[in-house]
Structure 1
Amino acid sequence: MTTQFHKYQGAGNDFILIDQRMDNLKNIDNNLVKQLCDRRFGIGGDGLMLLQSHADFDFEMVYYNADGNLGSMCGNGGRCIVAFAKHLGIIDSEANFLAVDGPHYAKISAEGNWVDLQMINVNEVTQDGNAYVLNTGSPHYVKEVTNLKELDVFNAGKAIRNNETYQVKGINVNFVENKGDHLFVRTFERGVEYETFACGTGVTAVALARAKHLQQTGHIETAIEVLGGHINVKFDYDGQEFTNIFLCGPAVKVFEGTI
């Protein structure tokens, strides 16, 4: 069987996308997803996304982690699948789609390579020592550090992700350094079980956690640097709930092919 795929990246977070409206990829299982995402024996990617039809939305997003398991919400993936939907002619400048954590709205540039994606509201932020823990569609641990460029993110993140508190369900681990006019973030992602070049729900969690820590309220915009580029997070915070959260960044087609 031959299946057409497209490869997209959002700030270096890369994904395999398949138009599944006609059931193009059959017999999807854990091993097939792992094979496709393998960077030596497959296409390579941090995850696999299927764009499916839905009666009440422009489309439905189904996301698999690189380990082959169904994943929670992926913010950079959400931006990429919106760009993919524009490429397919499903949407023009706006999208309303369904993901695992519920409905999402997005706006896309006329060129189709920049997407502002609305994330779910967040009303619970807890602490684990001096770190913050919150769910922005996926669960995240946020810890501020210094000299982040030199940090061994793989081993430090792996240790937290697999400690007694988080081992069973897993958690994404974000390390953040304040650079003055922006935040620098590096993330160890569960499901990939490695550091990725960017994590959309992760940088969203970082921006919200910092506002919580600084007790900022009102409309807030945060510029964030990741290994794969730059992302902006915009939101409103009234001291109790984070609303109107938008993850804004690139969504770029890399190549397409058949496998």
Structure 2
Amino acid sequence: MKLTFYKYQGTGNDFVMVDNRENIFPKNDTKLIGHLCDRRFGIGGDGLILLENDNGTDFRMVYYNSDGNESTMCGNGGRCIVAFANELGLIDTETEFMAIDGRHHATIDVEGTISLHMKDVHTVSVYENYVFLDTGSPHHVELVDGLDELDVKKIGASIRYSGLYGDKGSNVNFVAPFGTDKFSVRTYERGVEDETLSCGTGVTAVAIAMKVLGKTHSDSVKLETPGGELQVSFVQDGKQFTDIYLTGPARFVFKGDIEW
């Protein structure tokens, strides 16, 4: 079978994108999805995203990690699928789409910067050495010294597979201050089981965690990842966070066909 695919990246977080409005893709074939995401034997990507029809919105986003399993919300993937839908002519400068965690609104400007409305955060759990919250995906957030030299894969995996988070595990973010209302972030992603160049739900979690910890007093935070800069804004009402927006670039990389 031949598959036409598109490759997109958002601050280095890259995805294989498939227009599945005609339900051509074998969605339960985890081995195939893993193969397509493989950087040596397939196309290569941190995940695979299907764009599908949805009755109540412009389209539906179905996201798979590179291990082949369907996963929770992906913020950078959400921004990339908006760029993809724009390229397909489904939307213009504004959209509403359905994802696994509910409806998302997004806008896209002429330069390709996409602002994605994320789910509200009602609970932020603060512990002695870390913060845990769910921004569409679960995230462990930890301030560290020596971020540049940190073995993110090794330490991230030890936390992800520890008794803290059970069988489902958690994404793990390591953070260091990087100027006024700006932080450097490196993320270990479950499902990829490695460090990625950027994680949208991860930087969203970091921005909120830094506000809760008093490391920033701003409601708009810049996050520097190995793949580039993102911005997260929000409205805080006591312990709850609403009107959360993840903003940054999403870029088309290439289009191709692959057979299996």
Fold shared per TM-score above 0.5: yes
1:57 to 1:27, Cα distance in 2 relative to 1, 3 A: closer
Pair 1:223 & 2:222 matched: yes
Stretches of structure 2 lacking an aligned partner (at least 5 in a row): none
Please say if residues 124 and 239 of structure 2, whose CA atoms lie closer than 8 Å, have aligned partners that are also in contact: no
Name the structure 2 match of 1:119: 118
Stretches of structure 1 lacking an aligned partner (at least 5 in a row): none
Name the structure 1 match of 2:72: 72
Pair 1:7 & 2:7 matched: yes
Pairwise CA distance, 1:247:
0.2
Pairwise CA distance, 1:127:
2.5
**Secondary structure of 2:243's aligned partner:** strand
Please say if residues 8 and 254 of structure 1, whose CA atoms lie closer than 8 Å, have aligned partners that are also in contact: yes
Pairwise CA distance, 1:178:
0.5
Pairwise CA distance, 1:216:
6.6
Name the structure 2 match of 1:108: 108
Q: Which whole-Å deviations, capped at 9, do the CAs of 1:6-48 have from their partners, x for residues lacking one?
A: 0000000000000000123236411010000000000000000
Name the structure 1 match of 2:43: 43
Name the structure 2 match of 1:33: 33
Matches of 2:27 and 2:135, distance apart in 1: 31
Name the structure 2 match of 1:174: 173
Matches of 2:238 and 2:216, distance apart in 1: 8
**Secondary structure of 1:123's aligned partner:** coil
Matches of 1:73 and 1:250, distance apart in 2: 18
**Secondary structure of 2:165's aligned partner:** coil
The number of residues matched between the two structures is: 257
Please say if residues 6 and 255 of structure 2, whose CA atoms lie closer than 8 Å, have aligned partners that are also in contact: yes
Give the root-mean-square deviation of aligned CA atoms.
1.3
Pair 1:240 & 2:239 matched: yes
Matches of 1:27 and 1:148, distance apart in 2: 38
Pairwise CA distance, 1:227:
0.3
One-letter code of the match for 1:132? Answer: V
1:213 to 1:141, Cα distance in 2 relative to 1, 3 A: same
One-letter code of the match for 2:157? Answer: K
Name the structure 1 match of 2:53: 53
Name the structure 2 match of 1:87: 87
Q: What TM-score do the two structures reach when normalised by structure 2?
A: 0.96
Name the structure 1 match of 2:198: 198
Q: What TM-score do the two structures reach when normalised by structure 1?
A: 0.96
Name the structure 2 match of 1:18: 18
Name the structure 1 match of 2:252: 253
**Secondary structure of 1:3's aligned partner:** strand
Matches of 1:231 and 1:28, distance apart in 2: 33
Q: Percent identity?
A: 52
Matches of 1:213 and 1:12, distance apart in 2: 28
Please say if residues 37 and 47 of structure 2, whose CA atoms lie closer than 8 Å, have aligned partners that are also in contact: yes
Name the structure 1 match of 2:210: 210
Name the structure 1 match of 2:151: 152
One-letter code of the match for 1:152? Answer: D
